[in-house]
Amino acid sequence: MNFGLIIVGDEILSGKRADKHLPRFIELLAARGLPLAWAEYVGDDPVRITATLRRAFEGGDVVFSTGGIGATPDDHTRQCAAAALGRPLALHPEAARLIRERMQDVAREEGRPYEPERADNQHRLNMGVFPEGATLIPNPYNKIPGFSLGHVHFLPGFPVMAWPMAEWVLDKVYADQLRPVVTQERSVIVFGAMEASLTPLMEAVERAHPGVKVFSLPSVDHPEYGRHIELGVKGEPSRLEAAYMQLKTGLHEFGASTGPELVR
């Protein structure tokens, strides 16, 4: 099961706000022994959002989408999800109940009467207008829910809401389906070599050991190693030893100058 992340918002692409979702979702998945397969950023452009979500619906990955599910003019995600699936939008009854409950809570906290017919309160119900067939994702912060459409899950842009909601999806929706993969990395520091000259060796190791990935991380100004390449393999521990030995043997035959070895 692969996991993807879509992050929606002009404020991220313009630099007004720094994205916090990507590193946190990597952590949330890693805590469950799972990797993030891909991530994509998209601004508040309905055409682009619709195209991005259409690919997500048509693919087989579990996808989290953050941002754009509010009820202001620059929030388009709910409408784009409906367009991508060709479904109508409708006020979800349970979402409406939760939103009204939240409005009552706020009125009580502020010491004023709850006025359900007031224009702004009626407008807030738009946050519960979802594509037909949506199921709810509970929001422990303020009760206003996100929603799921199959394997694509829509969350607010606010981290304080989105992150616990994502954890709920992982632990409640996929708990019996997740198969955590235990992986390990073994690598060695290589001095003075060029990536292009090591590519045939990397390709040979991957051909000989299906399921093992070879990686190359060059650096030109490392404070300890200076200019070097960290060359290694990653995969299931049971498959890693033979692949790593082939990599080291190939480096020796190549005449490479090597340094410390790393295990992660």
- In the chain, which ranges are E strands? 3-8, 38-42, 62-66, 89-91, 129-131, 135-137, 146-149, 152-155, 184-191, 213-222, 226-235, 257-263
Report the C-alpha gap between 85 and 190 in whole angstroms: 50
pLDDT in tens, the chain (264 residues): 899 999 999 999 999 999 999 999 999 998 888 899 999 999 999 999 999 999 999 999 999 999 999 999 999 999 999 999 999 999 999 999 999 999 999 999 999 999 999 999 999 999 999 999 999 999 999 999 999 999 999 999 999 999 999 999 999 999 887 776 678 999 999 998 788 889 999 999 999 999 999 999 999 888 888 889 999 999 989 889 999 999 999 999 989 999 999 998
Q: CATH number of 184-263: 3.30.70.2860, 3.30.360.10, 3.60.150.10, 2.20.25.190?
A: 3.30.70.2860
pLDDT digits (tens, 9 = 90+) for 48-89: 999 999 999 999 999 999 999 999 999 999 999 999 999 999
- Domain ranges in the chain are 3-173, 184-263
β-bridge mates for residue 178, sequence order: none
Can you name the CATH fold of 3-173? Molybdenum Cofactor Biosythetic Enzyme; Chain A (3.40.980)
Q: Which residues of 31-45 are buried (b: 16+ CB within 10 A; e: fewer)?
A: eeebebeebebbbbe
> Alpha-carbon Rg of the chain, whole angstroms?
24
Paired tokens of 236: 């299931």
Q: Which residue has the tokens 């007031």?
A: 118
Q: What is the dihedral sign for C-alpha 28, 30, 36, 42?
A: positive
Structural contact between residues 213 and 186, judged by C-beta atoms closer than 8 angstroms: no
Query: For the whole model, what pTM was predicted?
Result: 0.81
